Amino acid sequence: MTCALCAPAQRPERQNGPDPANLPETNPYSSAADVETGRRLYAGRCGHCHGQNGEGGRGATLNTGRFRHGGSGRELFLVVRDGIPNTEMPGAFRLPDAEIWRMVAYVQQLSRHGASDPVTGDAAAGAIVYQKNGCAQCHSIDGKGGFLGPDLTDIGARRALRHLRESVLDPDADIPLEYRTVVVTTLTGKSTRGIHLNEDEYSVHLLDMSGNLRSFMKSELEDVKLPGRSLMPAYTSLSKTDLEDLVAYLGSLRPKR
């Protein structure tokens, strides 16, 4: 739900908080003052990924009234407090419960007053644009496709249309940590480019452009660079129609019920 940062979240052990069964179903902190406090907390912790008005971005949209993990006060509290395992959504479990409830109050207000981005393209035509531009070489949908870019199977439920559009036009603007590019150059001058997997004091591990896992000892390297550039090219040459059709297609990719 909120605050998608840069590391996969693992549900922590909550030592000093109420058991979920003992939480109220409705938010006990819902006054105008609570909502205002929640707005300030949200702005500092969540707005970067979810948009200051819940319009979405790298994180899910929060202003449509639709929440994948439930929209009751209790369900939203648990998502904010504990995060969502194996996603970029961390938990705020170190915050006092009252502050979590107040952020929930603000999110609940957003869900009542917001609106989703309008879809202006044609999803069926966008599927053709996706194939014609070779997107499947790096991205997968339902297990079919490449691995050098994020899985897009349910990207429409996880990213706002605005963010999808920006990612197509400027993929360098927001690169997930797990897809950061690294370039290593050996002492003999040979360079290898790929996805940065791990690095410690002695070695660098990457997935090269052919999908091979590679490990390099730093003592054998001349240079290690994290250029801050996505492996994905910018599709600025797409016509406005093709762009909007592609965005409509990506936005239609949601979990099957």
Kindly report the length of the chain.
257
pTM of the model: 0.63
Same domain, 83 and 155: no
Q: How confident is the model at residue 226 (pLDDT cuts 50, 70, 90)?
A: very high
Helix (H, G, I), strand (E, B) or coil at 152: coil
Please write the tens of the pLDDT for every residue from 124-159.
Answer: 999 999 999 999 999 999 999 998 999 999 898 777
Taking residues 80-97, what's their average pLDDT? 83
Domain-embedded: residue 166: yes
Q: Which is it for the CA torsion 156, 46, 168, 65, positive or negative?
A: positive
Domain-embedded: residue 257: no
Domain-embedded: residue 10: no
Domain-embedded: residue 27: yes
| Dist CA 62 CA 65 (whole Å) | 7
Same domain, 92 and 136: no
Check whether 13 has a pLDDT greater than 80: no
| Dist CA 17 CA 216 (whole Å) | 44
- pLDDT, mean over the chain: 86
The pLDDT value given to residue 17: 59
* Residue 13: how many other CB atoms lie within 10 Å: 7
Three-state secondary structure string covering 65-104: CCCCCCCCHHHHHHHHHHCCCCCCCCCCCCCCHHHHHHHH
Domain-embedded: residue 52: yes
| Dist CA 163 CA 47 (whole Å) | 14
Domain-embedded: residue 118: no
Amino acid symbol at 99: E
Taking residues 207-230, what's their average pLDDT? 94
| Dist CA 226 CA 193 (whole Å) | 10
The pLDDT value given to residue 191: 96
More confident residue, 197 or 110: 197
Q: How confident is the model at residue 199 (pLDDT cuts 50, 70, 90)?
A: very high
How many independent structural domains does the chain possess?
Answer: 3
Largest Cα–Cα separation, the chain: 66
Same domain, 164 and 248: yes
Domain-embedded: residue 129: yes
Cα angle vertex 159, ends 129, 180, to 5°?
A: 85
* Among candidate residues 111, 134, 135, 144, the one with its CA nearest the CA of residue 250: 135
Q: What percent of the chain has pLDDT over 90?
A: 55
Check whether 222 has a pLDDT greater than 90: yes
Q: Residue 49 corresponds to which tokens in the numbers above?
A: 């990924």
Q: By residue range, what is the domain housing residue 211?
A: 181-225
* Residue 73: how many other CB atoms lie within 10 Å: 21
